[in-house]
Structure 1
Amino acid sequence: MSVERTTRFVDNGVGWQLALHRYADPARLRPDTRPVVMVPGFAMNSFILGYHPRGTGIAGYLAEQGHEVWCVDLRGQGLAQRSSGPRGFGMADVALVDLPAAIDAICALSDVRGDAVDLIGCSLGATYMFMYAAWLPGNRAARLVNLGGPLRWTAVHPLLRTLSAAPPLWSLMRMKGTRGVARRLLPLAARVPGLLHIYLHPAICDLSEPATLVQTVDDPVPAINREIARWVRAGDLLHRGRNLTEDVARLELPLLTLVANADGIVPEATVCSAHNVMRRADRALVFAGDEKRPMAHADLFISDPAEAHVFRPLAAWLASEPAAQSAG
């Protein structure tokens, strides 16, 4: 048999239907494992987690190794649907309302050990993961994987620093049709040497089908834009008097950090910030790319070397020692 993909929807309790995409190979599924939950990030959805232009996407790859993988679309992402809920929402709504609802549903639906989950946060999805693990009492996190995501903005790309100078302006940016714009611009940008290198390297990515690739692009959320701008300026994410970096430093959950060595979106020092502060935890650090073949943000998912540099070491870490107990 091969990897099967199914989609279920769950109500988040405030008027949004969240999409849960399950990847599993019935012939290889290992019942002694925990569900693996993958969380996408800023202005993206779970499509990229199941897609690779020249091979198997990261979710399918992990399913081939015997894992039950769930890729979630939280509010404002992918197939998530608003019924009666608020149109405006921020990062805490996603991390502390949507993510718990999704994980609780996954544990109830799972065909493996549904007591807790191994969480993989992708880009801003890693921040949601840290918020969930550090700020939600009784959460179901067993192990954490940071796939190119920020905690403390130790290093910031100059372009992002400039954009973050005026947080109120970010909240006014109501960008619609982002996917269509990306579809038209991507082929043109790929022809300009170095233009896309802060995000991906065309030399190691197949960009011949932009209409397919940009299905992972969603419109940015104004309130989250503003929060990110303030966060970049402050360095640490603050919410209702709490400092996320300080609270994450107290976590003792196993942590794997995967870093693209030439990431211009979330630079190495910023991706490594959680690894550096979680000194009580069992930690591992993996760098993707090298001097001859650098890798940037999106290269972690869709580049030719992604399987060797990202998927394989991730699968090996998941298959290593037994998962820790839930943080609850």
Structure 2
Amino acid sequence: MGRPFLFKSLMQSSSNLFPVALISAERRGDLCEDVYRLKPGNSPDGTVELAVTRLGLADEPQARGVPVVLLHGSFSNRRFWYSAKGIGLGAYLTRLGFDVWIPEMRGHGLSARNQDYRRNRVADYARYDLPAIAAFVREQSGQVPHWIGHSLGGITLAAALGGQYLGAPAVASAAFFGCQVSRTYWPLKIPPVEWGGRLLLRRFAHLSGSRLKRGPEDEPIGLALEGLRWYGLFGRFRDAERDWWGGLAEVEVPVLAVSAVGDHQDPTWACRKLFEQIGSLHKHFLCLGREQGFSSDFGHVEMLVSKPAQAEVWPRVADWLRDQQAFLLRESAVVQETA
């Protein structure tokens, strides 16, 4: 028997941060799925609402392990991390005892489209949304979460770290899968081409994931326009206020960066360039390919969603998280001894 659905009138959460509602609570096999709707009210568009799903063990719904936040990429949603059948890295980590939290970005999955949806950018996600999610997860779990981002999710995480919107109090460690901002698109270095691209894109409100055969979700046109600026002639990974790329050199949290040999969208050399820009002294780079001892040359999606990933990648992610948590516990013990 599934967990009872909670009607809206009874869904107020115990959060003291901002309005939060528990919009569903369901049992999915051996897992429980609680979906919260956050309304942080911290951005210029006050209509922004974010759906954040917490995965737990159905027979131990109150158990709280080490919190991990999973950020999906472009044209995607929470199902990238766990399917309706309970398969995925999110479900895998939950069964190992981690406290898994899966946000869906504005207009994705269960997150409604905000009023100014078409102008949504990574800058908004990094400055407003991730800090709100971090505060909520930390409030609910009582611990500092680890973060894992795939593709655009990783780029957003990098922007939040480089822009100092997220830091050590909100991030225990950061893992980037298939994440880069250095690939060169030479036509965009020609100003008339970039200008023409902007004029063309401004005619649309969003890019259709289904039409482009990129995934189940759409992306706001603001993201595409932002990307044109990054990759233009004098483009840089930043917003109008802060230099995210330069700020990455100040990042001190432990970092894992993973690339895949068969990933032609985010090639290894570009992923490594982002990795090398991060200033953390505790970081590790992993490339998924046959020459590196893996069964195949993984692709952009297959690096996390495939049967080989289940056997070869997911255990490494779990080991990384355990290692970081052990490191944090040792550091905490040293601080207490010297206090």
- TM-score bracket, shorter-length normalisation: 0.7 to 0.9
- In the alignment, is residue 67 of structure 1 matched against residue 98 of structure 2? yes
Rg larger for? 2
SS of aligned partner of 1:242: coil
The Cα of 1:44 is off from its aligned counterpart by: 2.0
In structure 2, relative to structure 1, the CA distance for the partners of 1:31 and 1:5 (3 Å cut) is closer
CA contact (8 A) 1:146 1:257 kept: yes
Q: Which stretch has the larger CA shift, 171-180 or 130-139?
A: 171-180
Distance 1:3 1:321 in 2: 25
Q: Does 1:40 align with 2:72?
A: yes
Taking every aligned residue pair, what percent have the same amino acid on both sides?
A: 23
- Deviation readout 1:220-270 (Å, 9 max, x if unpaired): 211110111221235631212532221111111100111111211111112
TM-score, normalised by the number of residues in structure 2: 0.74
1:1-50: per-residue Cα shift (whole Å, max 9, x none)?
A: 82222211110312122010111225689968531001112222222111
CA distance in 1, matches of 2:124, 2:224: 14
CA RMSD of aligned residues (A): 3.2
CA distance in 1, matches of 2:219, 2:312: 29
- In the alignment of these two chains, the number of paired residues is 288
Q: Which residue of 2 aligns with 1:25?
A: 57
Matched, 1:143 2:142: no
Distance 1:108 1:232 in 2: 37
- In 2 relative to 1, CA 247–176 (structure 1 residues): closer, same or farther, beyond 3 Å? closer
For residue 227 of structure 1, what is the amino acid of its counterpart? E
Listed as ranges, the matches of 1:263-282 within 5 Å are 263-282=263-282
Unaligned runs of 5+ in 1: 186-213
Q: Tell me the TM-score normalized by structure 1.
A: 0.76
Whole-angstrom CA distance in 2 between matches of 1:129 and 1:49: 17
Question: 2:207, 2:120 → 1: CA distance?
Answer: 19
CA contact (8 A) 2:266 2:300 kept: yes
Mean Cα deviation higher: 291-300 or 168-177: 168-177
Match of 1:296 in 2: 299
Aligned-partner Cα distance in 2 for 1:48–1:160: 30
Cross-structure match for 1:4: 32
Q: CA offset at residue 60 of structure 1?
A: 0.5
Alignment of 1:93-242 (within 5 A): 93-110=124-141, 114-137=142-165, 139=167, 140-150=170-180, 152-153=181-182, 155-156=183-184, 165-166=193-194, 167-169=197-199, 171-172=201-202, 174=204, 178-181=208-211, 217-233=216-232, 234=234, 236-242=236-242
Change (3 A) 1:158 1:260: farther
Cα distance 1:159–1:312, how it changes in 2: closer, same or farther (>3 A)?
Answer: farther
Greater RCO, CA 8 A, separation 6+: 1
Structure 2 residues not aligned, in runs of 5+? 1-28, 333-339
Q: Any idea what the Cα deviations from partners look like across 1:88-119, whole Å, max 9, x if unmatched?
A: 22211111111112222222223xxx232101
Give the CA deviation at 1:121.
1.2
Q: Deviation of residue 133 (structure 1)? A: 2.1
Q: 1:7 to 1:170 in 2, by over 3 A?
A: farther
